Amino acid sequence: MEQAAFRHTRAILKRYGDSGRYKLVCLAGHQGKKGFVRKNLNDCKLENSLSRTKSCVLEIALCNMWDWFVTLTLAPDKFDRYDLPAWRKSFTQWLRNYNRLHNTHIAYLLIPEQHKDGAWHMHGLLSGVPDAALIVNEHGYMDWPAYSRKYGFISMGKVRDLERVSKYITKYVTKDMAARAEDLHAHLYYASKGLKRAEVLHDGFAVFSDAFTPDFRNDYMFSAWLGADWNTVCEVFDRNS
């Protein structure tokens, strides 16, 4: 990559909690009198939405500590498996009540996925569920009976590699899911209030070293994951310019 090619590129550098990871996102395009211009925005609305959603999911996942990777289902005899907004409203109220009654602070990051028949289930991350509230069920999965009684089957696996599981869950954010969710006026992911987000360290223009190679690139942006030595890759300047 030639250094001069991106001399006037807007660069946003974020620190992802205590993970020791930094992400540099650069918006490709050109500068005009009205500032930064992105090309063919109308032609890539869905792709941009998916990219932003995946970035948000990854950010929330990496910036918070999680105990469990979970799959939540809805049993037809307990809840309408086809009404995702109703489930979300019910679940958040049920969880608020549970936290209040048991003096817990259970947090979640959940991504809906739809079966071929239209029914919904969720994948994601949980933290704060007391160990005493969990059992190993007859299928050999860790189970949270309070959820099972209310909604349906749940399976839980310990999070042992936060970065790996954080990247893994973004695969559930798909074009098909985005289209269906838009029709239902539903969200692509659900997250607890108060979760940590990445800290913006710099937002300005950047000059890159000749050795810099992005991890991802398309017509509208490029990005790279960096370590604590991020300043050896680029110099960010003109903050808020």
State residue 4's pLDDT score. 39
What CA–CA distance (Å, rounded) separates 209 from 239?
19
- Looking at the predicted structure, is the pLDDT value of residue 35 above 50? no
Q: What is the pLDDT of residues 170-221, one digit of tens each?
A: 998 876 766 665 555 557 899 999 999 999 988 887 777 777 788 887 777 7
Q: What is the pLDDT of residues 51-98, one digit of tens each?
A: 778 889 999 999 999 999 999 999 999 999 999 889 999 999 999 999
Inter-residue contact 199 to 19 (CB < 8 Å): no
CATH class belonging to 65-191: alpha beta
Whether the model pTM is above 0.95: no
The contacts of residue 222 (CB under 8 Å, 6+ apart) are 25, 26, 28, 214, 216
The helix (H) or strand (E) run that includes residue 201 is: strand 199-208
State residue 135's pLDDT score. 94
**Token pair in block for residue 227:** 């370590």
Confidence of residue 3 (pLDDT cuts 50, 70, 90): very low
What CA–CA distance (Å, rounded) separates 203 from 24?
10
Domain positions in the chain are: 3-62+197-237, 65-191
> Which residue in 101, 225, 241, 237 sits closest to 166, CA to CA?
225
What CA–CA distance (Å, rounded) separates 213 from 223?
9
Of residues 180 and 145, more confidently modeled: 145
Q: What is the mean pLDDT of the chain?
A: 81
Of residues 163 and 1, more confidently modeled: 163
What CA–CA distance (Å, rounded) separates 48 from 178?
11
State residue 21's pLDDT score. 85
Q: What is the pLDDT of residues 12-31, one digit of tens each?
A: 889 988 777 888 888 765 44
Q: Quick one: average pLDDT of 139-143? A: 86
